[in-house]
Amino acid sequence: MTVDSVGNSFICGNGQATIKTLKYGIDGSLIWRRFYAPPYNHFGGKGICVIAGRDNSVYSAGYLPVSDGNGDIFLFKYDYNNGALLWSTSYGSSQNKNDILNKVIIDKFDNIYLLGFFTASSNDNNILLLKYNDRPNGIISNSNIIPGYYSLSQNYPNPFNPLTVINYQLPASRQGGTINNVVNLKVYAALGKEVATLVNEKQNAGSYSVEFNGEGLPSGVYYYKLEAGDFVETKRMVLLK
């Protein structure tokens, strides 16, 4: 629970595979409440923390199951006054059995840090640190966990309207040093026309998350392609309006 400077209270909790965010006035009256339920029916999950940003927005985070025994981390930004959802994003690696959130910290620049752990395929628990910038049209997160291989995950949600998140990871070298990759992540229409460039820069080894906004594009099948070093992979996604 978080209390702002005028005495309003913000509470985050969980229900049956939902993350709940509520705002109460100084007299205890409910001002607004918001629920997020992913498009699957697994039980569990937990709402972790709510923080009032310096622009009087509200950040709410938690984790939810996406399949049996596996969970992803979710982050939401709500309007302070009416609770309207401003943006949301999620983090989950296809190589991890579970991504669990323990703590949320926000700095004076509204950078958001999510601290937790993940269970790898070897059943070992590893520390996970994510940093998000408050950029609703292209959030990029960076993990301090250095992967050992390239990967491009399936976007989530899929189908989507109009926002979806694409996760990918860049490895360290076999000698233990980080590789400075020239990374290109682009989106193409079904007939091969390029419609968006999401990433075109050098990036260090790590795990990244990019949000794609399909507003202004027609419904249909799209493809996103990651190129980094010798690694090239393409995946399919569906924009459904």
List the chain domain ranges. Answer: 1-137, 146-241
More confidently predicted of 109 and 201: 201
| Cβ–Cβ < 8 Å for 172, 191 | no
Which pLDDT band, with edges at 50, 70 and 90, does 232 fall under? very high
104 pLDDT band (50/70/90 cuts)?
A: confident
> Please, which residues bridge with residue 90 across strands?
74
Q: What residues contact residue 143 under an 8 Å CB cut-off, 6+ apart? A: 128, 129, 130, 169, 206, 207, 208
- Which band of pLDDT confidence, cut at 50, 70 and 90, is reported for residue 239? very high
Burial of 59 (0-12, 13-18, 19+ CB in 10 A): buried
pLDDT tens readout for residues 41-50? 455 566 766 6
Place of tokens 């969970």: 71
**Structure tokens of 214?**
């399909």
Q: What is the mean pLDDT of residues 33-56?
A: 64
Which is higher by pLDDT, 80 or 66?
A: 80
105 or 195, higher pLDDT: 195
141 pLDDT higher than 50: no
Tell me if the domain spanning 146-241 has CATH number 3.40.50.1820.
no
Q: What is the mean pLDDT of the chain?
A: 78
Which pTM does this prediction carry? 0.53
What pLDDT does residue 139 have?
39
